[in-house]
Amino acid sequence: NAVCTHLGCVVPWNAAENKFICPCHGSQYNNQGRVVRGPAPLSLALAHADIDDDRVIFVPWVETDFSTGENPWW
Protein backbone atom coordinates (compact mmCIF):
# COMPACT_ATOMS: atom_id res chain seq x y z
CA ASN A 1 0.00 0.00 0.00
CA ALA A 2 1.81 3.09 -1.20
CA VAL A 3 0.17 5.60 1.14
CA CYS A 4 2.63 7.47 3.36
CA THR A 5 2.08 6.91 7.06
CA HIS A 6 3.02 10.52 7.80
CA LEU A 7 0.18 12.47 6.16
CA GLY A 8 -1.34 10.10 3.61
CA CYS A 9 0.35 11.17 0.37
CA VAL A 10 0.72 8.58 -2.39
CA VAL A 11 4.31 7.31 -2.41
CA PRO A 12 5.67 6.34 -5.84
CA TRP A 13 8.44 3.78 -6.40
CA ASN A 14 11.75 5.39 -7.42
CA ALA A 15 13.54 2.77 -9.53
CA ALA A 16 16.74 4.83 -9.78
CA GLU A 17 17.12 4.87 -5.98
CA ASN A 18 15.44 1.48 -5.39
CA LYS A 19 12.99 2.82 -2.80
CA PHE A 20 9.64 4.53 -2.31
CA ILE A 21 10.01 8.30 -1.83
CA CYS A 22 7.16 10.48 -0.59
CA PRO A 23 6.86 13.67 -2.68
CA CYS A 24 5.16 15.59 0.15
CA HIS A 25 7.69 15.55 3.00
CA GLY A 26 10.51 13.26 1.84
CA SER A 27 9.84 10.08 3.82
CA GLN A 28 11.58 7.09 2.28
CA TYR A 29 10.76 3.39 2.43
CA ASN A 30 12.84 0.42 1.29
CA ASN A 31 11.59 -2.23 -1.13
CA GLN A 32 9.88 -4.02 1.79
CA GLY A 33 7.98 -0.84 2.76
CA ARG A 34 9.99 -0.20 5.92
CA VAL A 35 10.86 3.40 6.85
CA VAL A 36 14.47 4.31 6.09
CA ARG A 37 14.00 8.07 6.50
CA GLY A 38 11.26 10.01 8.28
CA PRO A 39 9.15 11.89 9.14
CA ALA A 40 6.92 8.84 8.50
CA PRO A 41 6.43 7.02 11.83
CA LEU A 42 5.47 3.57 10.49
CA SER A 43 6.13 1.19 7.62
CA LEU A 44 3.77 1.09 4.64
CA ALA A 45 0.68 -1.02 5.26
CA LEU A 46 0.40 -4.38 3.50
CA ALA A 47 -2.46 -5.07 1.10
CA HIS A 48 -3.71 -8.00 -0.96
CA ALA A 49 -3.66 -7.35 -4.71
CA ASP A 50 -6.00 -9.26 -7.01
CA ILE A 51 -6.82 -8.93 -10.71
CA ASP A 52 -10.48 -8.86 -11.72
CA ASP A 53 -11.52 -8.18 -15.32
CA ASP A 54 -8.17 -6.53 -16.12
CA ARG A 55 -8.38 -4.31 -13.03
CA VAL A 56 -6.08 -4.46 -10.03
CA ILE A 57 -8.04 -4.49 -6.76
CA PHE A 58 -6.35 -3.81 -3.43
CA VAL A 59 -7.87 -5.14 -0.22
CA PRO A 60 -6.54 -4.26 3.26
CA TRP A 61 -4.29 -6.89 4.83
CA VAL A 62 -5.77 -8.09 8.13
CA GLU A 63 -3.66 -11.18 8.76
CA THR A 64 -0.36 -11.38 10.60
CA ASP A 65 2.50 -9.56 8.88
CA PHE A 66 4.26 -12.38 7.02
CA SER A 67 7.63 -10.62 7.21
CA THR A 68 7.65 -10.20 11.02
CA GLY A 69 5.05 -12.65 12.34
CA GLU A 70 3.44 -9.80 14.28
CA ASN A 71 -0.05 -8.36 14.11
CA PRO A 72 -0.18 -5.45 11.65
CA TRP A 73 -0.23 -1.94 13.11
CA TRP A 74 -3.09 -0.86 10.84
Helical (H) or strand (E) element with 22: none
Closest-CA residue to 61 (of 52, 50, 70, 72) = 72
Q: Please tell me which residue in 13, 25, 38, 57 is annotated as part of the active site.
A: 25
The kind and range of the H/E element at 46 are none
Q: Is residue 25 flagged as an active site residue?
A: yes
The residues that are catalytic are 25
